[in-house]
Amino acid sequence: MRPWPGNPYPLGATYDGMGTNFALFSEAAERVELCLFDASGAEERVRLDEVDGFVHHGYLLGVGPGQRYGYRVHGTYDPASGRRCNPNKLLIDPYAKAVSHTTDWSESMFGYRFDAPDQRNDDDSAGYVPYSLVVSPYFDWGNDRAPKTPYHETVIYEAHVKGMTQNHPFIPDELRGTYAGLAHPVIIEHLTKLGVTAIELLPVHQFLSDHGLTEHGLTNYWGYNTIGFFAPHDAYAATSEPGGQVQEFRGMVRALHEAGIEVILDVVYNHTAEGNHLGPTISMRGIDNEAYYRLVDDQPRYYMDYTGTGNSLNVRHPHTLQLIMDSLRYWVTEMHVDGFRFDLASALAREFYDVDRLSTFFDMVQQDPIVSQVKLIAEPWDVGPGGYQVGNFPPLWTEWNGKYRDTVRDFWRGEPATLGEFASRITGSSDLYQDDGRRPYASINFITAHDGFTLNDLVSYNEKHNEANGEGGRDGADDNRSWNCGVEGPTDDPATLRLRARQRRNLLATMLLSQGVPMILHGDELGRTQQGNNNVYCQDNELSWMDWKLASANHDLVEFTAALTAFRKAHPVFRRRRFFQGKPIRRGDGLQDIGWFTPSGEEMKEQNWDDAFGRSILVFLNGEGIADRDQRGERVVDDSFLLAFNAHHEEMPMTLPGPDYGKRWQVVIDTASGVVTEPGAEDATTVSAGWSLTLVPRSFVVLQRLVEEDVQR
């Protein structure tokens, strides 16, 4: 097959209805062969002799969707100098839009011999390395439109495609664990009921299970082991049609958009599945190792590892930056996703050694007319020196707020001297985000996430129980800031179970009523457990999947969560677009926009914040002091509320402030009972100014100020 010259851009395999253009960047290559495979695995090699700017390219008439292909790159093999070309290794196209079949690990996939690591391995890896696939760019999007939910109205639900759908009794067997399963009406109905506006999916870029895990009968369940930045993971597709995962993914996005739910992808641009110097040669390592990976300066045989996974992408190289930016734009324009959560985002800011918030990557995102307009969420840390960067990302970005998680956990488990920081975290963490012009919604507030305990386990275990992972308990975090409520693990004790249920409600209510963007971990609303395992990255089984039978057993928790999100949606004072000022407002009732009171109803003084034993506080939120306007320019106002927090292990009488703040108040949320009450309900508890309301141990109550007609009624 003789190729036409074709074009050097776009990179990857681009089908135009008549044929396919193939383009591969490699500065290291002396020659590139495009390898085409038929259904039986028979291979035909085509030399790409056209080279422009180190891009090897050619056009093949008649080659179209479903075609399996890969590359062989001829060049220098000298690991000591950082060069690892070997034409005996079939290589995945870094720009492949789809990748076919699960990896069948073989020694041939490695550039060295297991019995002699200093010797080059010339065994042919074709038949073991996954194929790249040509895909059709065409899809009927219909009237699909991005929901474009404003940040301050966003409620995120972090989920795993397989884990959320694998055990659902009403999803057909053939759709469980797939994109089509996630688009099933029962899943969308559940998300809609919860008030979710965005689903954040754990990695769906094509990934591999590590060789070491597969040898022990485990798998890389979470998927933080990417090998294809443009390809939807093929194992999550119900269809067996080559490349069909692309259309199925698009169908899932379209269905979620129809329900008003955004799709955010957890993306891993900091490293790849090729690992360290002992890893396989299956893609970028064999294409241009020095360009794509960050090598140790004086020992280029080895890789810089800011991620704990063996390698780090070389974000200093223009073609690597182009790969990342092209990938991001592709997922927005061609797959219609609404945003990204960047795994170990600090690694992307390491142009030299230190994390640099002014790095080229952030500059490119800032000026990009497509990527800059979607939701950008940083996991603001990596494992390198100085990698913890919460609060230090550029203004365009929001961040997983690890300080919020730690502080709220500490407060509700009764740690001393947490009041001051707790106050900062529930009001949007202005100490982290205000100085650089960001808003409260820069803080993605979460109590639990995929990495760590579930909400149920957070209140049921003091220690991790990761025996199933086979690492002798060495994996997973040790600092969980959890509290088992007096009993480790499962128990039948009614008092302990009641306390745990109350603690779950305390944590959920705190998060959903804090300023910022709340994120719910999938299954927390059902009481999902991982039996104390805080690192189920390798557990693709019942331990990590959602148990939908819990939806019935914990029906009250599901309803409580849904009621909280509805309450948040109804009251803009809990989702402000601007930080509190702590000053009297210009128009309204003359009170400050926020007030802080001791349990005795007195305004907090400086010494009260430093009280090591202070575990209870009253917070006044002034609905007249939102200081914002809606789309029509009208001033946004709301009812006013008192938040009464009691993290003490004993009952606490809470005296309401004087009548200037409100003459009469109604309890609308009580985590002790798990009830969310409509204003004006006949059986609602009401309290007058200056009176005391006794909170049970470790509970949270929200009171709504009654207007004059409500008081009379």
- Report the candidate in 658, 657, 655 with the shortest Cα–Cα distance to residue 694: 655
Query: Contact 457/482 with Cβ under 8 angstroms?
Result: yes
Query: Contact 246/117 with Cβ under 8 angstroms?
Result: no
- 3 state DSSP class of 14: strand
Task: Give the integer Cα–Cα distance in Å for 627 and 560.
Answer: 30
Q: 50, 200, 288, 379: which is the annotated catalytic residue?
A: 379
Q: Which residue has the tokens 């709220």?
A: 408
- Report the candidate in 262, 200, 232 with the shortest Cα–Cα distance to residue 334: 232
- List 77's β-bridge partners, or say none: 84
DSSP state letter for 355? -
Characterize the bridge pairing of strands 226-232 and 299-303. unpaired
- Report the candidate in 111, 132, 195 with the shortest Cα–Cα distance to residue 570: 195
Two structure tokens written together for 668: 């609308």
Query: Contact 421/379 with Cβ under 8 angstroms?
Result: no
E strand or H helix at 245: helix 244-258
Two structure tokens written together for 655: 């005296």
Q: Cβ–Cβ contacts within 10 Å for residue 542, how many?
A: 12
Q: Output the DSSP codes for 684-695.
A: --EEETT-EEEE
Two structure tokens written together for 239: 């269809």
- List 307's β-bridge partners, or say none: none
- Report the candidate in 237, 164, 152, 172 with the shortest Cα–Cα distance to residue 199: 164
Query: Contact 491/459 with Cβ under 8 angstroms?
Result: no
Query: Contact 462/484 with Cβ under 8 angstroms?
Result: yes
3-state secondary structure 19-43: EEEEEEECCCEEEEEEEEECCCCCE
Q: 343, 457, 524, 525: which is the annotated catalytic residue?
A: 343
Does 602 qualify as catalytic in the annotation?
no
Query: Contact 583/612 with Cβ under 8 angstroms?
Result: no
Q: Output the DSSP codes for 391-453.
A: T-S-TT-EEE-HHHHHHHHHHHHT-SS-HHHHHHHHTT-HHHHTTTT--GGGEEEES--SSS-
Two structure tokens written together for 595: 């007030």
φ/ψ of 373, rounded to 5, equals -95, 0
Query: Contact 427/496 with Cβ under 8 angstroms?
Result: no
Point out the residues that are catalytic: 343, 379
